[in-house]
Amino acid sequence: IIQSIAPSIYGYEYIKCAIALAMFGGVAKNPGGKHKIRGDINILVCGDPGTAKSQFLKYVEKTANRAVFSTGQGASAVGLTAYVQRHPVTKEWTLEAGALVLADKGVCLIDEFDKMNDADRTSIHEAMEQQSISISKAGIITSLQARCCVIAAANPIGGRYDPSLTFADNVDLSEPILSRFDVLCVVKDQVDTLRDELLARFVVRSHRKHHPSAAGVDGEPLPELNLSNIEKIPQELLKKYIIYAKEKVDPKLHQVDQDKIAKMYSELRRESMATGSIPITVRHIESIIRLAEAHARMHLRSHVNSEDVNTAIRITLESFVETQKFSIMRSMKRTFSRFLNYKKGNNELLLCILRQLVSDQRRFQKNRFGEVQDYALIPEKELSEKAKAINIHNLSEFYQSQPFKSNRFSFDAKKKVITQMI
């Protein structure tokens, strides 16, 4: 399902996973009919221009059963919530619904979220947490339902995301509004020679594939970019699956690992205070529970199990770590590595380590010699030492894997050297 989210966008598995969970959503609770606890998951995607943020929103608009798309620049407070106007015939005051009310039991997508006025942004505080909108205008006093998840996209201050600053310093958003988002996704446009080439090949291939006259012109089949062997689910089938899961499945929190969530919350609070980043509040515990329920619903399970909780913790931690300064991010990744590496295959972890070794070597060459070679040589010993640190001892399967070969790596068993052509 995650691989099938926005297949026309290359990479960004972490964001696709968060969007998939938001589309399934958690379970809303109303104990005793007095206090509502929302089940919808709110996501904020922030990053550099040209990183497909708006494309993600457009994909959700086409896939979700009910979706309302608006932009921060073109929508005012009343346009998002509700407003009163005189009826042209009866001349009486009538109440008109805004985007958040129209998206009830669906998804509200807000692009250019940072361009909204502060007064307009404040008006959606109540809608995002309490999921209702209170109106007291022109003699009309009522409350409207706005039970929708909010997926917003924003650009950082100055246009580019600065890794040396925290997330709060990079975006022009207040703490109350940031704490209402369950997942904060940071998209950075970083220079990576190999990844850039794969991305370019993916884009060119997509254009060739979808060109009106592409079928049977030259008789040459388009080359597949086998970066993932998982078969994609068609968009219409995925849409029906999401509707079925939301209507029929309500996962319950019986066997949830409460101690693990409590311990992780206390660790996050300590790290948050030490680094001076986004404050961790009780809302983050609710976020983990909602993400776990959404993951269970995605698998059509009636109960939340430890796998769902571990996945929810991983996504919450990835969100927290990605919003840190670059200097703190690496130490945090080591601190929370046991959570961050959950359900990631050995090949994925080893490929990540290998890319880091190549990146370090290229940086060293540029600083030392002023130029970079068009290939990288990594001694097998370096990789095996780092692999042993995460309890991976057999690398032979990794050397034969598809990700290893598709990233232009080759292994010389005699010289015990890994080569990458760049």
Q: Say what the alpha-carbon torsion angle 126, 129, 130, 133 is, to the nearest 10 degrees.
A: 30
Rg for the chain, CA atoms, rounded: 24
Low-confidence ranges of the chain (pLDDT < 50): 216-227
Domain boundaries, the chain: 2-194, 249-341, 346-421
For the chain, the maximum distance between any two Cα atoms, rounded to a whole number of angstroms, is 89
Phi, psi of 322 (to 5 degrees): -65, -20
Q: Cα separation of 104 and 109, whole Å?
A: 12
Supply the pLDDT for residue 214. Answer: 55
Give the pLDDT score at 222: 40
CB under 8 A, 24+ apart: contacts of 115-119: 115/71, 115/72, 115/73, 116/72, 116/73, 116/75, 117/76, 117/77, 118/174, 119/77
Give the predicted TM-score (pTM) of the model. Answer: 0.77
Write out the CATH class of domain 2-194.
alpha beta
pLDDT at 230: 64
In the prediction, which pLDDT does 212 show? Answer: 62
Burial class (CB in 10 A: 0-12, 13-18, 19+), 327: exposed
